[in-house]
Structure 1
Amino acid sequence: MIRPQDLLCPKPEGLYCAPGDFYIDPVRPVARAVITHGHSDHARAGHGAVLATAATLDIMAERYGLAFAEARQAAAYGERVDRDGVEVSLVPAGHVLGSAQAVVRWRGLTMVVSGDYKRRRDPTCPPFEPVPADVFITEATFALPVFRHPDAGHEVGRLLRSVAQFPDRAHLVGAYALGKAQRIIALLREAGWDAPIYVHGALERLNALYVRHGVDLGDLRAATTAAKTDFAGQIIVAPPSALQDRWSRRFPDPVSAFASGWMRVRARARQRGVELPLIISDHADWDELTATVDELRPGELWITHGREEALARWASLHGVPARALALVGYEEEDED
């Protein structure tokens, strides 16, 4: 009888597939890697050969240079690739542009590695696609009942109401460079904000990459091209680290906002000096995580990183055997 650990097992480098001789999202350079998405805690440079979606490969090239791996292979969503008799396919994860779940099949056994994912609608990437599996391997970044995220449109509405309430102040929105920044911009456009959106220079190349992949972000302008008073009533999107940097002083009495699932924790908002916390996450919250497990009803649930114990306990109580892999090297959020 084939056991799940015969197909995938945790090693210091990451999840290893012995029959196919490859790793999924390895944290150290390896000969063959399957990469679920472009965040730096999952997609590292220095591997021999990399299999990923075309968008993820483009993101890695943008971040690490064209020589980020010795060889690379792009796989379309749903395309089946053979690795020494192991079938690998990538299906949408709904996390960021190009993000995928890795579906691994061998001798009648199916294991799905979610990578990072969310179930909420995101105008910048395809939605999560549930795949029946013998073993579902999930993240658990927000796997505590306290993390129940509001609708992202509601949070963007709060931002726009604040802009209307304080027309003499700039609104400086901290958002992670890959995925969150572009999602915030796209959500603002959907909400009717058709004015220019100013962006920090660190976001420009990834914004351009999203546009090349067909994501319409509207009129974007560098946040260095206007006099200080010209930014009154405007929205500026920047990496979170820029919120407390001297760079932020160029704006008139800025309202500091930060878009993250961690803004559900008020202490984190206070520690960062955030005036307008926006609870917008690119990870599944507690209800999404548990609903996904309940929908899939896998034979086993493996949990890679995050709040493993709470999710494992919930799964066991609901009839799904669960184990925590406690993989190291994966961050709570990508803060590049």
Structure 2
Amino acid sequence: MQAQDIIYPTDAGLYCAPGDFFIDPLVPVARALITHGHADHARAGHGAVLATRQTLEIMAIRYGEDFTAARQVAEGKVRIGGVTVEFYPAGHVLGSAQILVTPDNGPRILVSGDYCRTPNPVCAPWEPVPCDVFITEATFGLPVFRHPDPMGEASRLLASMAEFPDRPHLVGAYALGKAQRVIALARAAGHTGPIAIHGALKRLCDYHIEQGIDLGELVSASDPGDARLILAPPSAFASPWVQRFRDPVLSYASSWMTVRARARQRGVELPLVISDHVDWPQLTSTITELAPQEVWITHGAEDGLLRWCELAGIAARPLRLVGYEDEPE
């Protein structure tokens, strides 16, 4: 059985024929396997969902307990139709996983979802999984994207707070994963005071704390008190909410801050290059390390990675799945 007969792209997303299921489907389907809880990968309304326990709990937080008719925690090897599936940590956000699909007679196919190899204090680290076909994103699949040490970026944030003690520092970070990572990095860099969070971040921050992740003292951004570091979803910066803070230092944590023109367009004074995705060196080194026979690219900067694979003598093809965001802004 050929790989392209086992898993292939459809209008509804990536479909596994011998298992009759979709992986991170773009619309409600009868059976879905979900890599992680970001909204462009984890949608409500599926008949049945298989995912890690933490991803299922995050989906319940976001969509309500009745987000699916049936749910199953992915533990060990799970048999579905004519394939066996296994979930491995992806290092992206809490609960994120890579999904290995192994048919009875055919190649081992690894669907990586979104993944990151840089150590992340708020989720389990990425694990290498041997495979014949590696299905990868290419969100930052260009040589310009080379992520600095996240601790160095956190130190830059604290240095700015020391330089401008009378100005609140507002950091834009999406609610699942990035906000908690920025908080944890700030703590590791030496910030011991309270950190204020926008209301949209509270429930997921609470969930991380429930999972044993220490985020220190968190207070509401509606009443920040002495807190001089405030986190909010990036969308809040375009709303009247931001006007309650006098002369703030606007910051944004994203790999897109590598592109300084984007920072200027958004009025970001302190760009922080902190990403939960692989950068170009990590992307190419992952392919080299796993040494798959084929590389399939779901979305992102496909052309750059296709050219690299061609030069490296690795068979590659784009899937051009529409509906996944690059790193959310």
TM-score in terms of structure 1 length: 0.96
User: Does the 8 A contact of 2:22 with 2:32 survive in 1?
Assistant: yes
* Alignment partner of 1:257 out of 251, 254, 270: 251
* Cα distance change, pair 123–226 in 1 and its aligned pair in 2 (3 A): closer
1:111 corresponds in structure 2 to: 109
Report the counterpart of residue 154 of structure 2 in structure 1.
Answer: 156
The CA RMSD over aligned residues, in Å, is 1.0
Are the counterparts in 2 of residues 40 and 334 from structure 1 also a CA contact under 8 Å? no
* CA–CA distance in structure 2, aligned partners of residues 68 and 216 of structure 1: 28
How far did 1:108 drift?
4.4
Query: Are residues 1:267 and 2:264 paired?
Result: no
In structure 2, distance between residues paired with 1:108 and 1:50: 25
Q: Give the corresponding residue for 1:201.
A: 199
**1:153-182 Cα shifts (integer Å, max 9, x gaps):** 111110000000000010000001110000
Number of residue-to-residue matches in the alignment: 328
Report % sequence identity: 62
Q: Distance in 2 between matches of 1:109 and 1:137?
A: 13
- Tell me the equivalent position of 1:48: 47
1:100 corresponds to which of 94, 97, 101: 97
Q: Distance in 2 between matches of 1:55 and 1:92?
A: 12
> Is the Cα–Cα contact under 8 Å of residues 22 and 34 in structure 1 kept in the other structure?
yes
Amino acid at match of 1:44: R
CA 1:136–1:226 in 2, change beyond 3 Å: closer, same or farther?
closer
CA–CA distance in structure 2, aligned partners of residues 226 and 297 of structure 1: 50
Amino acid at match of 2:87: L
Answer yes or no: is 1:66 the counterpart of 2:65: yes
In structure 2, distance between residues paired with 1:334 and 1:178: 11
Counterpart-to-counterpart distance in 1, 2:106 and 2:240: 57
Residue 333 of structure 1 and its aligned partner are, at CA, apart by: 2.0
Unaligned ranges ≥5, structure 2: none
Match of 1:281 in 2: 275
Query: 2:246 matched to 1:247?
Result: no
Q: Retained in 1: the 8 A contact 2:196–2:224?
A: no
Instruction: Write the deviation string for residues 68-99 of structure 1: whole angstroms up to 9, x where unpaired.
Output: 111000114xx110001310110000000000
The aligned counterpart of 1:33 is: 32
The alpha-carbon deviation at position 252 of structure 1 amounts to 2.7
> What's the offset of the Cα at 1:315?
1.1
Shift of 1:253: 1.3
Tell me which residue corresponds to 2:83.
Answer: 86
Deviation of 1:67 after TM superposition, in Å, equals 0.9
| Aligned equivalents of 1:239, 1:26: Cα separation in 2 | 25
TM-score (norm 2): 0.98
Distance 1:101 1:81 in 2: 14
**Contact residue 3 and residue 106 of structure 2 kept, 8 A:** no
- C-alpha distance after superposition, 1:112-153 (max 9, x if no partner): 000001110000011111111110000000000011111111
User: What is the rounded CA distance, in whole Å, between the counterparts of 2:31 and 2:133 in structure 1?
Assistant: 22
* Counterpart mapping for 1:148-227 below 5 A: 148-226=146-224
